[in-house]
Amino acid sequence: MLHPLRPPSSPLSSVDFPKFLLVGQLLSLLASASYSATSREEEDFFKTCSSHRCSKHGPDIRFPFRLSSHPTSCGAPGMLLSCSGHDTILDHPVLGACKVTEIYYRYGVINAIPLADSSSQCPLRKLVSTNQSTGVYKPVALEDSVLVGSHVILIAATTSAATLVILVATALYLSLKRRYSEAIHLKVEMFLKTYGTSKPIRYSFSEVKKIARRFKEKVGQGGFGSVYKGQLPNGVPVAVKMLESSTGDGEEFINEVATIGQIHHANIVRLLGFCSEGTRRALIYEFMPNESLERYIFLQDSNISQELLVPDKMLDIARGIARGMEYLHQGCNQRILHFDIKPHNILLDYSFNPKISDFGLAKLCARDQSIVTLTAARGTMGYIAPEQYSRNFGEVSYKSDVYSFGMLVLEMVSGKRNSDQSIENQSEVYLPEWIYERVATGQDIILNS
């Protein structure tokens, strides 16, 4: 069974990149123009370059191969065949003269054997590094013991124009990706320059690796990256969030540093440090040993102490979240809108005091600014205020956070997710509607025990 192999890639380090791009663009235009050829030109091609056989049972000779008697435009360079009696001959500059017994156009494979009166062995090894102008010729990998009789040769019969177009497209993509990464890096550095050198502390990436213990202990996964447990040089435990370079445009990093980098409140997670080095960005927070509120209100762990689930404790947690939100909205020099209040983003410290975290979607505005402009809805489905979807419900403001907080409180009280796809009766998926129907019909609402 024949297994086509991928042609080896060619190094681009020695290529003059601007000239390479220019040549590629010209070839791309030529390739595009060839596709718009008129039907008359196509008919002329098939008349002039008709298929041919050297014998009744010989292989069919057609593009990209051509006979020596046909015009050069009928085939690709290096694909010249000739007829010697009833034999089809490939006179290759590397292989030498070989007899072609079969051509499989569908798979790009030919069978070739040395001529009986020729000293050529049609050696396959010489083809491994051969790069013709039409593409790369590479043999199917066969063991030495089976290299007897017919030799199988794999041909990547792509034209030089098409190959260059693909290479140019790849080079352009890599160039644009590099420029985009550089633009993000410049954007972040400009922000940090205006931000100043006060707390939180800026660390190098090598220092972050030491703090995170080489990222061995993963404790969570956020919307913008993975979170690892670490320790500062003074022994203080921390959480290190490594922001994914493939997500966002640096905005989540700037939002986090700009919003919670300069504030300190008992109900807001504290940012202790950060790192911005090339495309690597990290945020270092105080460590929250009891993880997120989500773990407790949805009973994901049967080993959780039931004392935390009592109404008085839940009320204390809800009050703490409300105090943190009030500080963000009214207690800072600029109003901070979180836009992603949900149980997963409420962390619990050693005493189960709640702390608002994950400010990647946050937005700053003046304290006297009541209306905020957004280009798209921000947040997590089920917690996003309706005015973010449609202005028919009103303008976006700090009250959008209050709506999210209300949904969170409903989940804390009921122990149900506000949008749970695991519920069999899909009419009961949306928690507010489920509550409304029971209140409207006078039914009892069974709360989490």
- Residues at the binding site for ATP are 241
- Residue located via tokens 């072609």: 100
Identify which of 128, 100, 94 has the alpha carbon closest to the alpha carbon of residue 114: 100
Could you tell me the two tokens for 364?
Answer: 């700053």
Burial 135-171 (b: 16+ CB within 10 A, else e): bbbbbeeeeeeebeeebbbbbbbbbebebbbebbeeb
Could you tell me the two tokens for 448?
Answer: 């989490």
Residues flagged as binding site: 241
The yes-or-no answer on residue 420 being catalytic is no
From the candidates 91, 340, 358, 368, give the one annotated as an active-site residue. 340
Q: Active-site residues: which are they?
A: 340
